[in-house]
């Protein structure tokens, strides 16, 4: 049970129906979006096959069908993984901040540039010993939010980790959609799910 004054403990608000509604809605929209992309790919390649001299139908149509099938397959796999995921507890064991370089290509390779960026890594070990990573580039918000030694819980199907001790925090991430919120709020400003505090 969470002591709201102290902000210590895992929140029982995870049992709110808003989370199951959010997960159902996410699954549906993921499939709708993939079907939409698939339809665009199929129609686009069919039209290309009808109008282009480079490729004729049915070859172009088959390529469109293959790409469309790929979109639907990816969405289905993501939904299956989300359905099979389980809640687990862990601890932040390490954090790392590195300066890295990457090449930014322009339209002509002669003018490509090198960008120096900040890469942040947070390493979490589950109670079962599995390693998990949170990474971000040029944004240290999560890096500063989590501290080595923090106990965390990853709720099944949701996007972020709930901290056990939120007593000194001024911000909180929505565990459903991952949106950054003020610790003063009770509901996510984006998806309206309860904030787990």
Cα end-to-end span (Å), the chain? 10
User: E strand or H helix at 92, and its extent?
Assistant: strand 88-104
Sequence-ordered list of residues with C-beta below 8 angstroms from that of 186, at least 6 positions apart, any chain = 194, 195
Q: Using one digit for the tens of pLDDT, what is the confidence trace for 5-64? A: 568 999 999 999 999 999 889 889 888 999 999 999 999 999 999 998 888 999 999 999
Q: Is the pTM of this model over 0.85?
A: no
CB atoms within 10 A of CB 1: 7
Q: Using one digit for the tens of pLDDT, what is the confidence trace for 88-145? A: 999 999 999 999 999 887 666 667 788 999 999 999 999 999 999 999 999 999 999 9
Residue 66: which of 77, 58, 54, 78 has the closest Cα? 58
């Amino acid at each position: 049970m969470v002591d709201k004054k102290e902000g210590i403990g895992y929140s029982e608000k995870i049992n709110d129906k808003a989370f199951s509604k959010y997960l159902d809605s996410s699954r549906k929209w993921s499939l709708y979006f993939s079907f939409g992309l698939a339809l665009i790919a199929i129609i686009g390649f069919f039209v290309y096959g009808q109008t282009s001299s480079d490729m004729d139908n049915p070859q172009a149509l088959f390529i469109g069908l293959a790409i469309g099938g790929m979109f639907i397959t990816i969405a289905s796999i993501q939904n299956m993984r989300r359905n099979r995921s389980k809640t687990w507890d862990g601890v932040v064991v390490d954090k790392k901040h590195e300066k890295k370089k990457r090449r930014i290509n322009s339209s002509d390779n002669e003018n490509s540039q090198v960008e120096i960026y900040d890469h942040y890594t947070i390493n979490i070990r589950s109670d079962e010993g599995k390693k998990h990573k949170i990474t971000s580039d040029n944004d240290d918000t999560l890096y500063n939010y989590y501290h080595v030694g923090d106990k965390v819980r990853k709720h099944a199907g949701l996007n972020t980790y709930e901290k056990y001790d939120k007593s000194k925090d001024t911000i909180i991430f929505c565990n459903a959609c991952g949106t950054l919120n003020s610790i003063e709020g009770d509901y996510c400003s984006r998806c309206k799910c309860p904030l787990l505090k």
